[in-house]
Amino acid sequence: MSFAKTFSAQTIGLGAKIIDVEIDLSKGLHNFTIVGLPDKGVEESRDRVSASIKNSGFTSPKSLNQKVVVSLAPADIKKEGPIFDVAISLAYLLANEEIEFNAEKILFLGELSLDGNLRRINGVLPIVAQAKASGFLEVFLPKENAKEAALISDIKIYSANNLKEIIEHLNTKKLIKEKQKEENISKKLEQQPPTEIISEVDEMLIDFSEIKGQETAKRGLEIAAAGGHNIAMYGPPGTGKTMLAKAFAHILPTLSFDEILEITSIHSVAGVLKKDIITKSPVRAPHHTASYVSIVGGGATPKPGEITLAHRGVLFLDEFPEFDRKVIETLREPLEEGEITISRSKGTITFPANFILIAAMNPCPCGNFGSKTKECICKPMDLLRYQRKISGPIIDRIDMWVEVSQINYEKLAEKDSGKKETAEIKNRVISAREIQKKRFAEAGRKIKTNSEMEAKDIGKIAGLEDSAKEILNSSAKKLDLSARAYHRIIKLGRTIADLEGNETINSSHILEALQYRPKRNQ
């Protein structure tokens, strides 16, 4: 036999594509060629495959006078990375008649080291999902990727330490045990009380009770978590804005199993999956000096950026006005649509980016503008430039603007009461989310939070009382609100009502929502 075929795959955007690995052997001077638009990482498979086959106890392609041609199809898709190593090795051994097995309906993934061991790869979750959809029955991959792959049901997952284990299993069907599924992980988390979930999230948890004062900011963050609203906190340095943002992540509801799959898949493709499975809402906090591509995403072959890695979680932008103006303005699309579209010469890819934005900022570059005790040393032009970094459209898309003011020293010196606020706040957030879930299900809407409502939803399911509508209309005229800001106030009022368990939005809910509109360009 001089021809063989196996199957592998690679990620494209956040999806995957099955790749046919074909190999042909013919007599002649030794030559090992890989065709099908391979990048440098794929071309170097020649040396990895040859060495790993030899060190697994088989005949190395380099020791024989034969021409080896590997074709990765479809040929018009650029192949990237070392993920095809295992499939190429097995195809060669099949073609050279050193092993024998039926390669149909089996997918092989993995990078090989020179001694034949398998190394962890990226993008396993979407690849296994695509394998299932394409009718494959079994997937072989590195041990380190097994738990991630086992999230996908109804397909057999076999994880191995090295190439030799895979070969022996294909011959005996007994060596490698099928990896157990991880479908029950979300159910386990949902069965735990909030306090237990919190203790698992982070041993260094900052409880809201540890943050002295700032009750308005705490209230704002609770509303933001309950309805998925974007929030900006402004005030002088050292008032607790960063601490509040860190504490915020722990009042978000437990992820559903579908959300766990979605988030884990994104992080796997991006190559930043630190654990096998992500079970908590992601929190991304890029520095203000981060590049445009790292935050938005992109590259020659577009990859997810920070705003996509924050999907279903939190994007915390500290020192908000210090970010590049281009980065800030790019937030318009994800804040409005929950996704980001990246266009490059090789194609256009849309990544999900439905996150809660928490922006923190000082009132000016020196941080003392408006202070009663400290002098602002900023020049007028510097102050104007700083404030203009946040444009009107961005201000409109941030639902809540909360001042985090200086706390007096007596308040800071107060003894800790020992009462834990985070668990209580999280319970209220979960209750409000359940109310929203039920409301949207009854209305036939596939959305999760009030912030995702569209204009057509507001009239049908928001439940605005006439008195509240009168106050809103009157205030909108005085404040000269845009249509977007008008609708966002109603959404915010709906969340405040849900936290109180009210079926309708009354005047007090609208009045509180109006308090969170910016008084000026912060």
Local confidence band at 522 (pLDDT 50, 70, 90 cut-offs): very low
Look over the chain and give the mean of its residue pLDDT values, rounded to a whole number.
88
- Averaged pLDDT, 407-415: 64
Residue 9 pLDDT: 97
For the chain, how long is the longest CA-to-CA vector? Answer: 89
pTM for this entry: 0.87
Residue 179 pLDDT: 76
CA distances from 92 to 32, 44, 70, 242 (A): 11, 16, 9, 56
Residue 82 pLDDT: 94
Q: In this model, does residue 191 exceed pLDDT 60?
A: no
Residue 181 pLDDT: 67
- Averaged pLDDT, 52-61: 91
Structure tokens at 284: 């991304």
Residue 199 pLDDT: 31
- Averaged pLDDT, 68-90: 94
Q: In this model, does residue 229 exceed pLDDT 80?
A: yes
Local confidence band at 196 (pLDDT 50, 70, 90 cut-offs): very low
Residue 87 pLDDT: 96
CA distances from 344 to 270, 303, 327, 335 (A): 18, 11, 17, 22
Residue 300 pLDDT: 73
The DSSP call for residue 495 is H
Closest CA to 451 of 501, 496, 476, 488: 488
Spatial neighbors of 479 by CB under 8 A, at least 6 apart, are 514, 517
Spatial neighbors of 250 by CB under 8 A, at least 6 apart, are 198, 201, 202, 205, 206, 422, 426
Gap between the Cα atoms of 254 and 425, Å rounded? 14
Local confidence band at 198 (pLDDT 50, 70, 90 cut-offs): very low
Residue 518 pLDDT: 86
Spatial neighbors of 239 by CB under 8 A, at least 6 apart, are 214, 404, 405, 406, 407
Local confidence band at 121 (pLDDT 50, 70, 90 cut-offs): very high
CA distances from 263 to 308, 313, 337, 472 (A): 9, 9, 18, 37
Gap between the Cα atoms of 366 and 236, Å rounded? 9
Long-range contacts, 143-146 (Cβ 8 Å, 24+): 143/118, 144/119, 144/120, 144/276, 145/109, 145/120, 145/121, 146/179, 146/276
Residue 214 pLDDT: 83
Q: What strand order describes the sheet that includes 314-317?
A: 283-284, 314-317, 356-361, 231-234, 400-403
Decide: helix, strand or coil at residue 199.
helix
Structure tokens at 97: 């008649």
Chain centroid to CA 359: how far?
Answer: 18
Residue 83 pLDDT: 96
Omega prior to 74 cis, within 30 of 0: yes
Look at 465 and 193; give whichever has higher pLDDT: 465
User: Burial letters for 123-146: b for 16+ Cβ neighbours within 10 Å, e otherwise?
Assistant: bbbbbbbbbbeeebeebbbbbbbb
Sorted by where each starts, the structural domains of the chain and their CATH numbers stand as: 3-172 (3.30.230.10), 187-416 (3.40.50.300), 425-515 (1.10.8)
Are the C-beta atoms of residues 37 and 76 closer than 8 Å to each other? yes
Q: In this model, does residue 361 exceed pLDDT 70?
A: yes
Give the DSSP per-residue string, 118-137. EE--S-HHHHHHHHHHTT--
Give the DSSP per-residue string, 334-383. HHHHSEEEEEETTEEEEEE---EEEEEE-SSSSS-TT-SSS-----HHHH
Query: Percent of the chain at pLDDT above 70?
Result: 91
Spatial neighbors of 160 by CB under 8 A, at least 6 apart, are 110, 118, 140, 141, 142, 143, 166, 169, 176
Pairing of strands 118-119, 111-112: antiparallel
- Averaged pLDDT, 302-321: 93
Gap between the Cα atoms of 272 and 201, Å rounded? 18
Look at 23 and 181; give whichever has higher pLDDT: 23
- Averaged pLDDT, 337-360: 88
Q: Which amino acid is at 322?
A: E
Q: Is the dihedral of CA 72, 74, 76, 82 positive or negative?
A: negative
Local confidence band at 238 (pLDDT 50, 70, 90 cut-offs): confident
Structure tokens at 93: 């051994």
Decide: helix, strand or coil at residue 331.
coil
Local confidence band at 239 (pLDDT 50, 70, 90 cut-offs): confident
CA distances from 188 to 185, 192, 251, 254 (A): 5, 7, 18, 11
Beta bridge partners of 119: 111
Residue 314 pLDDT: 95
Local confidence band at 415 (pLDDT 50, 70, 90 cut-offs): low
Q: In this model, does residue 369 exceed pLDDT 90?
A: no
End-to-end CA distance of the chain: 73
Residue 298 pLDDT: 82
Residue 166 pLDDT: 95
- Averaged pLDDT, 17-21: 97
Chain centroid to CA 483: how far?
Answer: 30
Residue 29 pLDDT: 83
Q: How many residues does the chain have?
A: 522
- Averaged pLDDT, 100-129: 95
Query: Percent of the chain at pLDDT above 90?
Result: 63
Q: 112-116, 315-319, 388-392: which range is least confident on average?
A: 388-392
Local confidence band at 192 (pLDDT 50, 70, 90 cut-offs): very low
Structure tokens at 48: 């990895």
Are the C-beta atoms of residues 31 and 68 closer than 8 Å to each other? yes
Are the C-beta atoms of residues 13 and 78 closer than 8 Å to each other? no
